Amino acid sequence: MGDIIKENNLKFRCDLNEDVKYILLPVFYGIVFCIGFTLNVLTVYIYIFKIRPWKTINVFMFNLAVSDLIYVLSLPLLIYYYSQESVWPFTNVICKLVRFLFYTSLYCSILFLLSISIYRFVAICHPIQYLRWSHPRYARIASLVIWIIVVGMQSPIWYFVSTSQSGNNTVCPDTTSEDLFGQFVIFSAVNLSLLFCVPFVVILICYSNIVYVLFKPNTNISRTGRSKVKSVKMVIVVLLVFVVCFLPFHVTRTLFYFYRNRDLECSTLSVISLAYTVTRPLASLNSCIDPILYFLVWRLSLSTDLYAEQIIDRRQLISGEDPHNTLGTRSQLPTRSIYISKPFTRGTVFYRLSGLNIEIVLLLLFMD
């Protein structure tokens, strides 16, 4: 291949030097594949065979690991493709599949991180509502909806992406033909708005409120320094994934797509293209960072889920009502005596009269 190629063999206004990606992408993708495959296979194995029963957070984390694993399994094809300087030896269907898996995994990861963030926000800032919505079945429904939405929104990739000829070689572009490029830009803008910008704003709001509640002075909720550190670590990891992996990729991709066919100096467009090339492997780095989040969330979920279970148990013992019973019947639990198996040393107790019963709500968010 020459120093300058036109990957789609189309009459775009500027020909761009893309030699850097033939070195950067194979090396970076190779590292991500080795680390990401190992960590995510281990994570999936642990969730399937070692963790039972699943809590709400486990459902989201398992789906996040699966989305990461699906992506890293497609990397060997891209490693070969870019190491051969954009020579695609496989079929057109496989080309479409590889590009489809990338964006499906990308946006599934974003939405599952959003779900985890909302889950933590409700648990910390609205603990009573957390008790109502913490059942794993809601997480399973939400996960299914996420997969359906993302797969549906990424399905146009099968229409836009197609192999093409560049000289005597077949290439597998990550965009589309020149005739469809305007529509492809609109498609990418919709994905940017709905699947990145909106989740990113919601995550910022959630974590701003979480940090505010954790460090709010004169709060009635007692928290240890260790629990605060755990929560802040999780906030940092999630924001790190967005700021390092997702944000640069979406910014540079948007600029590159927007200016690709416009009256811009080719030297300027080359700089934007280079920035886009550099940030593309960063978008895959989340497959290696997410396993760190698995560990942090697992430690935090021990405290949160134990807290929720104990509150539910107390409500059952006090009122004789099963909070997960959707038929409205009452369980055969004692209503006169209250037995607490373990004394609580921290937390504020509120008493609310409900008929002849007293409902005790222990606002104890984190426990050692």
CA-nearest of 282, 92, 118, 145 to 207 is 118
Please tell me the predicted confidence (pLDDT) of residue 90.
93
User: Of all helices (H) and strands (E), which one includes residue 306?
Assistant: helix 286-319
Q: Where are the domains of the chain?
A: 21-304, 313-363
Cβ atoms within 10 A of the Cβ of 252, count?
A: 20
Are residues 47 and 62 in contact, defined by beta-carbon separation less than 8 angstroms?
yes
Place of tokens 């009502």: 321
User: What region, left, alpha or beta, does residue 36 occupy, with left being phi > 0 and alpha being psi -120 to 50 degrees?
Assistant: alpha
**337, burial (CB in 10 Å: exposed 0-12, middle 13-18, buried 19+):** exposed
Q: Which residue type is seen at 338?
A: I
> Residue 350 and residue 229: Cα distance in Å, rounded?
27
Predicted TM-score (pTM) of this structure: 0.77
pLDDT digits (tens, 9 = 90+) for 214-256: 887 755 444 555 666 777 777 888 888 899 999 999 999 999 8
CA-nearest of 44, 42, 3 to 20 is 3
Q: Which residue type is seen at 222?
A: S
pLDDT digits (tens, 9 = 90+) for 194-219: 999 999 999 999 999 988 888 877 55
Please tell me the predicted confidence (pLDDT) of residue 328.
41
> Residue 67 and residue 102: Cα distance in Å, rounded?
10
Q: What percent of the chain has pLDDT over 90?
A: 42
CA 357 distance to own-chain centroid: 42
pLDDT digits (tens, 9 = 90+) for 249-305: 999 999 988 887 776 777 788 888 889 989 998 999 989 988 877 776 655 554 544
Q: What's the fold here for domain 21-304?
A: Rhopdopsin 7-helix transmembrane proteins (1.20.1070)
* 171: β partners: 164
Please tell me the predicted confidence (pLDDT) of residue 351.
33
